[in-house]
Amino acid sequence: MGVDFISYQENIDTTTPQGEMIFTVMASLAQFESALISERVKAGMARAKAQGKQISRSPIAKSVQVRIAKLYEQGISIQQMSKQLGIGYGTAWNYVQRLKRGESCDPARTMTIACQCRIYPAST
């Protein structure tokens, strides 16, 4: 069972060897362009990270993190936490998972460590 593509305007017919070749070349070019875009995005993110810029979303406020910890200790469900605090379920779930792993959300117990990193592009 297969699907054939025939375009009269571009004169492409995948039922013929020539049309199949054109279709294959077009698919290869699309895949190549996708790989180039991915490479550029990764390089840009690495450069931004090397410059100390934040790439990911900002963390939620420390006060909200502390409230999540308190609600978790009280046995409140993640669904109820997210509604009470006005945050997404996934956000509440992520912070609860951190609590389960023993990571502190309390700013008084959190230590910040600064480091300087250099990222070098991979050689091909």
Residue 123: what pLDDT? 56
- Other beta carbons within 10 Å of 72: 18
pLDDT, mean of residues 74-87: 93
**4-45: per-residue pLDDT in tens?**
878 888 777 888 888 888 889 989 999 999 999 999 999 999
Nearest to 71 by CA among 90, 96, 94: 96
User: Is the pLDDT reported for residue 95 higher than 50?
Assistant: yes
What predicted TM-score, i.e. pTM, was given to this entire model? Answer: 0.47
- Per-residue tokens: 94: 């992520």
User: Is the pLDDT reported for residue 116 higher than 60?
Assistant: no
- Per-residue tokens: 105: 């959300």
User: Is the pLDDT reported for residue 114 higher than 60?
Assistant: no
The Cα–Cα gap between 47 and 60 comes to: 25
The Cα–Cα gap between 43 and 55 comes to: 12
CATH of 62-109, one of 1.20.120, 1.10.260, 3.40.720, 1.10.10: 1.10.10
How many residues in the chain? 124
The CB-side HSE value for 9 (13 A sphere, CA atoms) comes to 0
- Per-residue tokens: 112: 């910040």
Q: Where does the pLDDT of residue 113 fall: very low under 50, low under 70, confident under 90, or very high at 90 and above? A: very low
As a whole number, the mean pLDDT across the chain is: 83
Where along the chain do its domains lie? 6-50, 62-109
Q: Which of 7-16, 70-79, 106-115 has the highest mean pLDDT?
A: 70-79
